[in-house]
């Protein structure tokens, strides 16, 4: 029997189209014609990011990749002899990862930490070494709000640009060392970084991660100080990324952008042109829908919104600068942007917001893929410093979370295959669990397609996968195949069953009116599954597998539309509630509420979470 399995595997591997490599490497031994899901994290900060370094993170880029592959990682605070007070280790290694240290201030951080580098003895570096919290705010203000280097960098910032070469070269070297170029294709790395801008007028987050296809990259990362606008960033990549160099730009934390990430205007607030929209779609086919600092799927307000699942990890503010301004439906959520894209397409002939979805962690510990609610230690950066001591009580701000994972459907685990998946948007994001989900759209899928042994092959043959555009339908109604399998988990931490599978539709009527609908297509939203918040023990039934074929009976050929799928788990304890339970907090007994655990009994505390996955959308564009 085992021999037949091997023969079958070799047969189907031989059918998979060869991936066109843009760099030297051994072809992967196993290729999958119907593609496989590969799980990773494209948002990882190490010791070279200002916010991470000023909070005690010592993780090198190489150690971040070693952690992603399964090694144990030391976490601050550190003893005088260099021993870590805490550590983390993934229960399951990742398939791919990227260190994405901030391009801004990478030279300053290296300068201030390296005796002998010119500028090390400047007052700015003295402040960095002796009052790191103050340096964090000063340095960030200058780079993000003023888009400028400070005095220790010399004329034109040359000293800091020169200092940036060492960490940038180290990031590249670590990615090359840990990229598995053998035929095993066990682990893939990408060279990349974060471009970190803030809209000055309202504190709106404009952050983006840049992912390079291979080892061909610019001489230095292009920062917000160099190019203080997304359009300028794209143009600079055009100028500096030549030959084999190719890049993707992934916006993140649109939920904190104060509406600026998808404003419908150009960088200066003027009218968007088709040329700029085209540049955006070429560079930004994917957005990060979920990470440490909240979810950007959709807006929720009690008594106003009908989709209560939109409340998932919604932050209480709409900006990254700390202004006390609550979010609104138009301040950066993906659903609003998707429909705004349909409006812009009517005027420009191109949709600048036709993006797919991924998720990642935004860890500032170098802990790529550390998404477990069970042993969350905080991710640093935006949370409480742990440089000198372990923070008592909750290890991070109450509104933050462990982050999510990026998943790519690809023929193999190589840079070129994964990069192509991001380009065609056949990717999805999860809030942490390794849910496996697929989504296809076509015009004539049979109602019982889920029961066909070759249903995935038929779905590809007669439609498009997530991230695709529906072809012309000749007056028919679109049908969608959606499936999901629960995270298998591990022996120590079994995966949570699924509760339901949904399709979310948004459309623009011919009169220009926006509409949204959420449809339960499989599972049971009333399955009475839940969790005992006193013990964090789950109860109730769920589903290991869900599959459905759904037809849009309300489809109108003259209305542009988008569709995506959402797979939702049964309820479980959020990380914060797990900490509260472990510390014996009983809100009815004040004496049990220890230092740092006050949040356990606050109105803002959300003890229960329903983890999920979001597929990239599928679009319908009216003829003409």
Q: Give me the DSSP letters along 428-452.
A: EEESSS--EEEEEEES---TTGGG-
pLDDT above 80 (res 64): yes
pLDDT above 70 (res 438): yes
The answer to whether residues 553 and 484 touch, using CB atoms and an 8 Å cutoff, is no
Question: Which of 130-144, 305-319, 427-441, 572-586 shows the lowest per-residue confidence on average (mean pLDDT)?
Answer: 130-144
pLDDT in tens, 179-196: 999 999 999 999 999 999
Question: Among positive and negative, which fits the CA dihedral 116, 119, 121, 124?
Answer: negative
Helix pair angle (230-240, 274-283), 10° resolution: 70
Angstrom CA distances, 407 to 308, 312, 426, 488, stand at: 25, 20, 9, 16
Mean pLDDT, residues 383-411: 87
pLDDT value for 37:
98
Distance of alpha carbon 342 from alpha carbon 615, whole angstroms: 19
Coil, helix or strand at residue 246:
coil
Mean pLDDT, residues 23-48: 97
Q: Which two tokens stand for residue 206?
A: 């404009």
Distance of alpha carbon 519 from alpha carbon 530, whole angstroms: 22
pLDDT above 90 (res 312): yes
pLDDT value for 387:
67
Q: Output the average pLDDT for the chain.
A: 94
CA torsion 271→273→276→282, rounded to 10°? 130
pLDDT in tens, 84-125: 999 999 999 999 999 999 999 999 999 999 999 999 999 999
pLDDT in tens, 129-161: 999 889 999 998 888 777 889 999 999 999 999
pLDDT value for 142:
87
pLDDT bin (cut points 50, 70, 90) of residue 16 is low
Angstrom CA distances, 18 to 8, 28, 30, 77, 584, stand at: 18, 9, 11, 47, 56
pLDDT value for 624:
74
pLDDT value for 83:
94
Q: What is the 3-state secondary structure (H, E, C) of 284-302?
A: CCEEEEEECCEECCCCCCC
Q: pLDDT > 70: what percent of the chain?
A: 96
Q: Tell me, what DSSP letter sits at residue 145? A: I
Alpha helices in 179-315, H assignment, sequence order? 230-240, 274-283
How far does CA 101 lie from the centroid of its chain? Answer: 15
Q: How many CB atoms lie within 10 A of CB 535?
A: 9
Helix pair angle (158-178, 106-113), 10° resolution: 90
pLDDT value for 474:
76
For the chain, the distance separating the N- and C-terminal CA atoms, rounded to the nearest angstrom, is: 55
pLDDT in tens, 354-363: 999 999 999 9
How far does CA 246 lie from the centroid of its chain? Answer: 20
Coil, helix or strand at residue 582:
helix
Mean pLDDT, residues 275-292: 98
pLDDT value for 3:
45
pLDDT above 80 (res 533): yes
DSSP letters, 534-554, are TTTEEES--BSEEEEEEE-TT
Q: How many CB atoms lie within 10 A of CB 278?
A: 14
pLDDT bin (cut points 50, 70, 90) of residue 472 is confident
pLDDT above 90 (res 513): yes
pLDDT in tens, 214-273: 999 999 999 999 999 999 999 999 999 989 999 999 999 999 999 999 999 999 899 999
């Amino acid at each position: 029997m085992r021999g037949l399995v091997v023969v079958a595997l070799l047969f189907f591997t031989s059918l998979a189209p060869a991936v066109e490599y843009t760099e030297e490497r051994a072809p992967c031994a196993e290729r999958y014609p119907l593609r496989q899901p590969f799980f990773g994290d494209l948002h990882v900060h190490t010791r070279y990011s200002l916010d991470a370094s000023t909070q005690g993170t010592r993780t090198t880029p190489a150690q971040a990749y070693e952690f992603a592959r399964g090694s144990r990682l030391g976490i601050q605070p550190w003893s005088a002899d260099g021993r870590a007070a805490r550590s983390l280790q993934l229960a399951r290694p990742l398939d791919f990862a990227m260190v994405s240290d901030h391009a801004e201030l990478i030279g300053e951080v290296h300068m201030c930490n390296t005796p002998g580098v010119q500028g090390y003895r400047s007052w700015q570096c003295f402040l960095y070494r002796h009052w790191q919290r103050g340096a964090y705010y000063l340095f960030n203000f200058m780079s993000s709000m003023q888009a400028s280097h400070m005095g220790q960098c010399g004329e034109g910032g040359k000293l800091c640009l020169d200092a940036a070469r060492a960490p940038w070269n180290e990031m590249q070297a670590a990615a090359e060392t840990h990229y598995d170029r053998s035929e095993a294709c066990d682990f893939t790395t990408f060279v990349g970084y974060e471009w970190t801008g803030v809209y000055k007028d309202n504190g709106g987050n404009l952050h983006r991660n840049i992912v390079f296809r291979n080892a061909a990259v610019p001489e230095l990362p292009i920062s917000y100080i160099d190019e203080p606008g997304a359009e300028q960033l794209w143009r600079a990549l055009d100028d500096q990324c030549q030959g084999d160099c190719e890049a993707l730009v992934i916006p993140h934390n649109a939920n904190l952008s104060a509406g600026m990430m998808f404003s419908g205007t150009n960088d200066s607030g003027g009218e968007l042109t088709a040329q700029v929209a085209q540049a955006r779609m070429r560079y930004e086919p994917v957005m990060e829908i979920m990470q440490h600092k909240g979810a950007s799927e959709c807006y929720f307000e009690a008594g106003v919104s009908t989709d209560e699942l939109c409340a998932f990890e919604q932050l209480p503010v709409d900006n990254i600068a700390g202004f006390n301004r609550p979010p609104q439906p138009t301040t950066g959520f993906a659903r609003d942007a998707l429909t705004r894209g349909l409006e812009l397409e009517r005027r420009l002939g191109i949709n600048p917001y036709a993006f797919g979805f991924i998720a990642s962690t935004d860890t500032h510990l170098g802990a790529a893929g550390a998404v477990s609610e069970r042993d969350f230690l905080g991710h640093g950066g935006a949370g409480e410093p742990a440089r000198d001591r372990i923070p008592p009580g909750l290890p991070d701000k109450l509104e933050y979370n462990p982050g999510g994972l990026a998943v790519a459907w690809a023929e193999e685990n190589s840079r070129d295959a994964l990069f192509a998946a991001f380009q065609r948007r056949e990717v999805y994001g999860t809030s942490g669990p390794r849910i496996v989900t697929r989504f296809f759209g076509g015009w004539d899928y049979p109602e019982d397609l889920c029961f066909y042994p070759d249903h995935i092959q038929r779905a590809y043959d007669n439609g498009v996968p997530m991230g695709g555009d529906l072809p012309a339908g000749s007056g028919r109604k679109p049908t969608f195949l959606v499936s999901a399998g629960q995270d298998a988990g591990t022996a120590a931490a079994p995966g949570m069953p699924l509760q339901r599978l949904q399709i979310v539709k948004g459309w623009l009527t011919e009169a220009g009116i926006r509409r949204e609908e959420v449809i339960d297509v499989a599972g049971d939203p009333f399955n009475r599954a839940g969790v005992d918040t006193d013990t964090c023990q789950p109860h109730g039934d769920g589903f290991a597998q869900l599959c459905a074929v759904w037809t849009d009976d309300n489809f109108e050929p003259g209305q542009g539309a988008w569709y995506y799928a959402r797979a939702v788990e049964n309820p479980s304890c959020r990380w914060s509630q797990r900490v509260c339970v472990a510390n014996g907090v009983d809100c009815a007994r004040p004496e049990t509420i220890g230092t740092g655990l006050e949040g356990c009994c606050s109105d803002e505390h959300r003890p229960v979470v329903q983890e999920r996955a979001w597929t990239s959308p599928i679009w319908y564009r009216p003829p003409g």
